[in-house]
Chain A
Amino acid sequence: MRIEVLIDLKTTLGEGPLWDVDQQRLYFIDSFDGRVFRCTAEGGEVRSWDLPAKVGSIAIRKDGQGAICSLATGFHALDFKTGDCDLITDPESDKPANRINDGKVDRRGRFVAGSMDTMEEGPNGALYRLDPDFSLRQLDRDIVVSNGPCWSPDDKTFYFADTWSGEIWAYDYDIETGAVSNRRTFTKVDTSGGGAADGSTVDAEGFLWNAQVYDAKLVRYAPDGSVDRVIEMPVNKVTSVNFGGPDMDILFVTSMAKPPLPRFPGDGVQRGSVFALYDLGVRGVPEPRFGA
């Protein structure tokens, strides 16, 4: 096992690592600076796109020419070539204190993303599903901070966390319709070290990896919700995880340089780095692109 700083970028709020298999590129975002980054598995050929607002997550579109971005101002379509970023729909235009946060694409190309209260206090957020035809459905509500949507390899379980609930939830997922039901506690997060569930991914064995922000921990949960494995990270504020690389066996981890809320302390010189973990003995599952 080996942990390396892949890019010493000091992202204000690094999030949403996303490996695109076709392009063999890693995407990640700086939520606060409103930026999308892309690089190779080795951290080379870095390029970035500015977005018109804070960004919670992105999904690569089916043709690879652009991305769906969940911005503070609604779902947008980013054109990689021109940098244009056009509104698709804004479900929370009446909630200026909210922004859309973490999201991921199911294996039928739907983008599922949830919103958050930017002060991380009130249950004002909701979970949405953006279908390939750009129609939007609300899947759940009363959420403080949406994080870590991902699916079991058989698509029958959808995992999702409201960061400050102290839990990661599981729902039954109907891959035919994109409907969720039967929300229950998948696991209770050990919050004794000040941590909370942030971004997640499911590996090829069906185990869920979760970044526990403020507690420097990556935790791998078995499908029954028990803790299988913990990796302590060089920085406290790890934010999200995704497998990638040519063999899908590198775990990319984002972190934040400046806490968006001043109640959390700093992380020193490695703050905001993107990390790469090698030789974990585990592979990920390719992320689908958005679109039918």
Chain B
Amino acid sequence: MLRIEVFSERREKLGEGPLWDPEAERIYWIDSYGPAIHRCDLKGGDAKTWPLPEPVGSFALRSRGGAVVALQSGFFLLDFETGALTPIVKTQAGELTPRMNDGKTDRQGRFLAGSMDYEESRPVGKLFRLDADHRLTQLDDDIICSNGPCFSPDGKTLYFADSGKARIYAYDYEPETGAVSGRRIFASFEKLQGFPDGATVDAEGYLWSVEVYAGRLLRFDPEGALDRVVGLPVFSSTSVAFGGPDLDIAFVTSMARPHGGRRHLEHEAGMTFAVHGLGVTGIAEPRFAG
């Protein structure tokens, strides 16, 4: 039966990007404004934190070890042993506000991540694809706040949210080339309370989106119809990933930083939660091939 528990009592300023490593059986997540990457095992052991020099939007584990990290200014490689960062490519160099935000690998190991306006009001964000050879391609623009990129199980559909526009898009995705086309609105949040934040696709091909500023997990069927709603303990929930040895635990991050100038009324704001008993399993995320 459903069980929602506090997994990590750390109160992250902006917890985001939970990611399960199926090989080492470790859960990772970030604090965008920590800024840092955190990791531990299912019991909270083997805990490690990598501090970062800039706000972090997302990361992916590399097949060669370490991680590819989307920091404010662009993509970097992080060496888990030394903590050293190596720049790969700057995004939107010379432009004032956008910072890199949410990202995820496609089923072939390319890393897709988008940027966002700091004020979350102007459509200055872009969606990028970083290939294994570290070449950067812009896939879309006119985005207020990039969030929740994720892929259908067959890798042929990319889902991607613009939180600022309160909608999730679907694109046709070319697994061979990483090209996108045919953007359409997959789900609009206009009639919902909150906004689409982080997302993942489960083994049945249904999309789980975290409705931030509403504290809910929403499950959509592949046609975009709302299938299920699970309320979360905090209003400021941010992102979700399935993990655990059976990929049946939904890890959910949240943020402690005040919203609209008001402190959060939940003592658990900013903590990371484990949701058991959903009766659904996830799909292991591929590692970045570059």
Taking A193-B193, A229-B265 as contacts, is the C-beta distance between A234 and B231 under 8 angstroms? yes
Determine whether B267 belongs to the interface, using a CB cutoff of 8 Å to chain A. yes
Contact digits for B250-287, partner A, Cβ 8 Å, 1 yes 0 no: 00000000000000011110000000010000000000
Interface centre among A8, A268, A273 (most CB of B within 10 A): A268
Collect the chain B residues with CB atoms within 8 Å of residue A279's CB. 6
Taking A229-B265, A234-B230, A268-B228 as contacts, is the C-beta distance between A1 and B5 under 8 angstroms? yes
Determine whether A269 belongs to the interface, using a CB cutoff of 8 Å to chain B. yes
B1, B231, B265, B277: the one within 8 Å of A236 (CB):
B231
Q: Would you call A230 and B2 a contact (CB within 8 A)?
A: no
Complex CA–CA separation, A193 to B193 (angstroms)? 8
Contact digits for A53-97, partner B, Cβ 8 Å, 1 yes 0 no: 000000000000000000000000000000000000000000000
Considering only CB atoms, which chain A residue lies closest to B268 in the complex? A1
Collect the chain B residues with CB atoms within 8 Å of residue A5's CB. 1-3, 277
Determine whether B215 belongs to the interface, using a CB cutoff of 8 Å to chain A. yes
In the complex, how many residues of chain A place their beta carbon closer than 8 angstroms to a beta carbon of chain B?
A: 24
Interface centre among A193, A234, A273 (most CB of B within 10 A): A234
Q: Would you call A232 and B230 a contact (CB within 8 A)?
A: no
Complex CA–CA separation, A254 to B170 (angstroms)? 38
Considering only CB atoms, which chain A residue lies closest to B267 in the complex? A229
Determine whether A270 belongs to the interface, using a CB cutoff of 8 Å to chain B. yes
Determine whether B224 belongs to the interface, using a CB cutoff of 8 Å to chain A. no
Determine whether A47 belongs to the interface, using a CB cutoff of 8 Å to chain B. no
Determine whether A179 belongs to the interface, using a CB cutoff of 8 Å to chain B. no
Collect the chain A residues with CB atoms within 8 Å of residue B187's CB. none
Q: Would you call A3 and B233 a contact (CB within 8 A)?
A: yes
Q: Tell me, rounded to whole Å, the shortest Cβ–Cβ distance linking A176 to chain B.
A: 37
Determine whether B4 belongs to the interface, using a CB cutoff of 8 Å to chain A. yes
Q: Would you call A1 and B233 a contact (CB within 8 A)?
A: yes
Within A185-240, which residues are at the interface with B (CB < 8 Å)?
A: 193, 216, 219, 227, 229-236
Collect the chain A residues with CB atoms within 8 Å of residue B230's CB. 234, 268, 270
Within B203-249, which residues are at the interface with A (CB < 8 Å)?
A: 215, 228-235
Complex CA–CA separation, A229 to B215 (angstroms)? 15
Taking A1-B233, A216-B215, A216-B231 as contacts, is the C-beta distance between A229 and B266 under 8 angstroms? yes
Collect the chain B residues with CB atoms within 8 Å of residue A267's CB. 229
Collect the chain B residues with CB atoms within 8 Å of residue A273's CB. 1-2
Q: Would you call B1 and A233 a contact (CB within 8 A)?
A: no
Determine whether A4 belongs to the interface, using a CB cutoff of 8 Å to chain B. yes
Q: Would you call A230 and B265 a contact (CB within 8 A)?
A: yes
Q: Would you call B228 and A231 a contact (CB within 8 A)?
A: no
Complex CA–CA separation, A230 to B231 (angstroms)? 13
B6, B215, B228, B277: the one within 8 Å of A1 (CB):
B6
Determine whether A2 belongs to the interface, using a CB cutoff of 8 Å to chain B. yes
B1, B193, B234, B266: the one within 8 Å of A8 (CB):
B1
Q: Tell me, rounded to whole Å, the shortest Cβ–Cβ distance linking B256 to chain A.
A: 14
Q: Would you call A231 and B1 a contact (CB within 8 A)?
A: no
Collect the chain B residues with CB atoms within 8 Å of residue A235's CB. 231
Q: Tell me, rounded to whole Å, the shortest Cβ–Cβ distance linking A221 to chain B.
A: 11
Q: Would you call A268 and B1 a contact (CB within 8 A)?
A: no
The 3 closest A-B pairs by CB, nearest first: A230-B265, A2-B5, A5-B1
Kindly list 18 other residue pairs between chains A and B, CB separation below 8 angstroms, not including A1-B6, A2-B3, A5-B2: A1-B268, A2-B6, A3-B2, A4-B3, A193-B193, A219-B265, A229-B266, A231-B268, A232-B232, A232-B233, A232-B266, A234-B2, A234-B4, A234-B231, A268-B229, A268-B230, A270-B2, A270-B230
